[in-house]
Amino acid sequence: MEGAAAAAVDSSAWAVRGFDVRVDRPLVLGVINLTPDSFSDGGIFADPGAALARAERMFEDGADLVDVGGESTRPGAGSVDSTEEWSRIGPVVEALALRGIPVSVDTTKADVAQRAVDGGAAVLNDVSGLRHDPGLADVAAGSGSGLIVMHMRGTPRTMQNDVEYDDLVGEVRDALALSMQVACDRGCSPEQLVVDPGIGFGKSTEGNLELIAGIGRLLDLARPILVGASRKSFIGAILDVPVEQRMEGTIAACLSALERGARLFRVHDVLPVRRALDVAWAIRSSGTPGQAT
């Protein structure tokens, strides 16, 4: 994925099975956590009926995909086994797929990923960047699903133990390039891939700000960039507000990332972020024809 090979890839194309997706405008992923211990909404949507209603509302509010997770990735979180993870998310994934709503499944396990694509999921979202279970890339390759690879140092349990970097953005960029190479070596096409620098995953407050400010350095990966800053603790640290009061900070982080080249945004508050991104994109697109890239 270096040099001429990367240049040959259409960075606005995203190969997602069953859906025609082009990342030539901001895309929004609505977050549904089916966990009892998520940092933001743990336990609220544990009931499949409540989760399904929330997901349908997100889609109506402008989400391009709904991202469903059954294992918390908050700092310090432990793991759950595959059976428990799938029991949490399976009914919602299958119900949303039957309704024609594009579903992304947040998992690091190949066996959960396989059940997800069998159940109709269009995208796999791996916060470990294929480090936990590289076989997840085999599932993406075999199914043609989109694949999001994220940077995280360590695991959710350990990631905040070491947040010092010599060159944060450079190290994140190199790690994402390696994840992309693993995916391609296991049969994925580059067009299936989206990269996520991992805001809040093994980074300090200052590191998160540096990472958003430096997103432009990731553009030479020639893949769409996803940012997941929604309600994260760095926003709370800056504004001194609890998690439920971080919507304005989330919007600011998303707009800053948009201007620096990010095109996908994973958020809890779909409607206000969708509206803010649409206005910012309209302004960006109103200059010289063809200038918005």
The verdict on whether 246 is a catalytic residue reads no
Quick check: is 203 catalytic? no
User: Cβ atoms within 10 A of the Cβ of 240, count?
Assistant: 7
Give the torsion through C-alpha atoms of 240, 243, 248, 253, to 10 deg: 90
Rounded Cα–Cα distance for residues 260 and 200 (Å)? 18
Catalytic-labelled residue, pool 115, 173, 231, 232: 232
User: 221 — alpha (psi -120 to 50), left (phi > 0) or beta?
Assistant: alpha
Which one of 54, 153, 266, 274 is the catalytic residue?
Answer: 266
Query: What are the catalytic residues?
Result: 232, 266
